[in-house]
Amino acid sequence: MPLISPSILTGNFLSLGKDIEMLNNSRCDWIHLDIMDGNYVPNISFGFPVIQQIKSVAKKPLDVHLMIVEPERYIERFRDSGADILTVHYEACLHLNRTVNNIRDLGMKPAVSLNPHTPVSVLEEILPELYMVLIMSVNPGFGAQKFIDSSYDKIHKLKKMITDKNLDTLIEIDGGVDLENIGSLTRAGVDVFVAGNTIFSADDPVKMIGMLKEEISDK
């Protein structure tokens, strides 16, 4: 069954505790945290104190996506702050294999993200080491962007790589996911859906999560 991982970046930070409690009581599977440093992407989000507070009330695994330079410097601190799945960007890691193994050795599930311009072929060697690959279907750094249609081709290529190697690696998609495309993305091979604006701009976010789950339940 594909998973829903709502991104709290588009939530209301004045009532963050209420948003986390809402997600706890929804049909979502994970909670997606976008960590931005203002260097790797032109935006700044939040850091360790906020992650720790979220972890203290969250009943779902924390799916932490690092859009930062030199992520290897902070892996242990993200573990200590509560990350369950930790995603680093291929483009930000000089020694990717070392970073992935460090994430795993510290007890988290390692994932690697690819920007829209980066081909999936760069993961050929590292793929067996990964719990998940996150395909960015928008340019990273901001929410509420339009889905990049060429992402479908990347999903198909990545799915073939995973199947050919007989792996269980998950495919996650982040950017522009909504009720109109989530079904076709499921059929293309996506396992985990990050959705921010679609959920938090809805009149009833819990209902929207349920609707997204229904769209992928029979695909």
10 Å CB burial of residue 165 (0-12, 13-18, 19+) is exposed
Residue 194: strand pairing partners:
5, 174
- Look up 80 and say whether it is catalytic: no
**Phi, psi for 178 (deg, rounded to 5):** -150, -175
| Single-letter amino acid, residue 77 | R
Q: With contact defined as beta carbons under 8 Å apart, do 190 and 2 qualify?
A: yes
Res 135: pLDDT:
97
- Please tell me the distance from the alpha carbon of residue 137 to that of residue 5, in angstroms, as a whole number: 15
What does the pLDDT profile of the chain (219 residues) look like in tens digits? 899 999 999 998 899 999 999 999 999 999 999 999 988 888 889 999 999 999 999 999 999 999 999 999 999 999 999 999 999 999 999 999 999 999 999 999 999 999 999 999 999 999 999 999 999 998 876 555 678 899 999 999 999 999 999 999 999 999 889 999 999 999 999 999 999 999 999 999 999 999 999 999 865
| Single-letter amino acid, residue 215 | E
Task: Give the β-pairing of 192-195 and 62-67.
Answer: unpaired
Burial call 184-195: b when 16+ CB within 10 Å, e when fewer: ebbebbbbbbbb
Residue 95: domain span: 3-217
CATH number at residue 33: 3.20.20.70
Looking at the structure of the chain, the number of domains it has is 1
- Please tell me the distance from the alpha carbon of residue 205 to that of residue 21, in angstroms, as a whole number: 12
- Please tell me the distance from the alpha carbon of residue 30 to that of residue 24, in angstroms, as a whole number: 9
**Catalytic residue among 34, 37, 63, 191, which?**
34
Within 10 Å of residue 132's Cβ, how many Cβ atoms? Answer: 19
- Please tell me the distance from the alpha carbon of residue 158 to that of residue 185, in angstroms, as a whole number: 13
- Look up 174 and say whether it is catalytic: yes
- CB under 8 Å to 167, separation ≥6 — which residues? 127, 128
This prediction has a pTM of 0.95
- Please tell me the distance from the alpha carbon of residue 111 to that of residue 214, in angstroms, as a whole number: 26
**Catalytic residue among 19, 63, 174, 191, which?**
174
